[in-house]
């Protein structure tokens, strides 16, 4: 009887450990997409829609959320190659575009051709190929959500700053005094270049200031070198699963 109870307790402990490990890996994937490997501020991927649609915070938020949905869903299937990725991603993009046409035609019109171009967005193809291909569906789902959240945050920030400087508004609401003279270029696509450069400069300044203060800022903008043998990142989910497969 005592042996049975001991086995039962071990089973419960093992299950709790697996659940805790799964939550930690999910949190690591979200943090990775938003901070460590932010697709816009760190990896500099998807620059075409980033610079083209971020003329306002609403446009940036809409494009980011649309990409988030496609990223999360297209990261679920694993062990498939580029031709299959294209078909899967195109299917989800079509569904999202039809939903936008039905419920948010104004946003669909503002984003225009950049919604269909999500199909060949290097962020989505890159994550599908580099992460979801070699990892289980659940971590891949959270990796897609994390990358999508990072992309959404980046586009919303760029659009918000551009809208504030170029129109004196935030999410369509005027918040500056009448004496404020907008700089019109920031309300246009070329202004996104300046805003992106300024935000990346702020990120680099914060990282450099942290390094001077003796703080470990290596996880900010570290990216992945894919050199697992010499990598010091102990919490790398990809290496974790590779080790698990070897065992």
142 in Cβ contact with 30 (< 8 Å): yes
Q: In the chain, what percentage of residues exceed pLDDT 70?
A: 75
Backbone angles phi, psi at 179, to 5 degrees: -75, -15
Query: Is the backbone of residue 172 left (phi > 0), alpha (psi -120 to 50) or beta?
Result: left
Using CA atoms, how far apart are residues 120 and 123, in angstroms rounded to an integer?
A: 9
107 in Cβ contact with 31 (< 8 Å): no
- pLDDT tens digits for range 143-152: 889 999 999 9
Question: Among 21-35, 167-181, 189-203, whose mean pLDDT is lowest?
Answer: 21-35
pTM of the model: 0.74
- pLDDT tens digits for range 154-176: 999 999 999 999 989 998 888 88
């Amino acid at each position: 009887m005592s042996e049975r109870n001991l086995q039962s307790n071990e089973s419960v402990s093992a299950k709790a450990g697996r659940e805790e490990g799964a939550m930690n890996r999910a949190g690591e994937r979200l943090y990775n997409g938003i901070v460590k490997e932010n697709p816009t501020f760190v990896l500099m991927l998807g620059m075409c829609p980033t610079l083209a649609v971020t003329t306002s915070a609403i446009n940036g938020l809409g494009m980011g959320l649309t990409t988030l949905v496609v990223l999360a869903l297209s990261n679920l299937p694993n062990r498939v190659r580029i031709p299959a990725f294209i078909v899967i991603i195109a299917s989800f993009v079509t569904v999202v575009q039809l939903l936008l046409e039905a419920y948010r035609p104004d946003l669909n019109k503002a984003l225009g051709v950049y919604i269909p171009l999500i199909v060949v967005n290097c962020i989505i193809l890159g994550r599908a190929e580099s992460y979801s291909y070699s990892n289980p569906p659940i971590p891949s789902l959270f990796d897609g959500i994390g990358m999508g959240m990072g992309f959404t945050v980046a586009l919303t920030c760029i659009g918000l700053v551009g809208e504030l400087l170029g129109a004196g508004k935030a999410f369509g609401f005027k918040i500056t005094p009448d004496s404020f003279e907008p700089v019109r270029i920031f309300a246009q696509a070329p202004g996104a270049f300046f805003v992106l450069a300024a935000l990346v400069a702020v990120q680099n300044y914060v990282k450099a200031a942290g390094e001077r203060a003796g703080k470990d800022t290596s996880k900010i903008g570290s990216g992945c070198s894919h050199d697992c043998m010499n990598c010091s990142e102990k919490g790398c989910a990809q290496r974790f699963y590779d080790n698990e497969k070897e065992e």
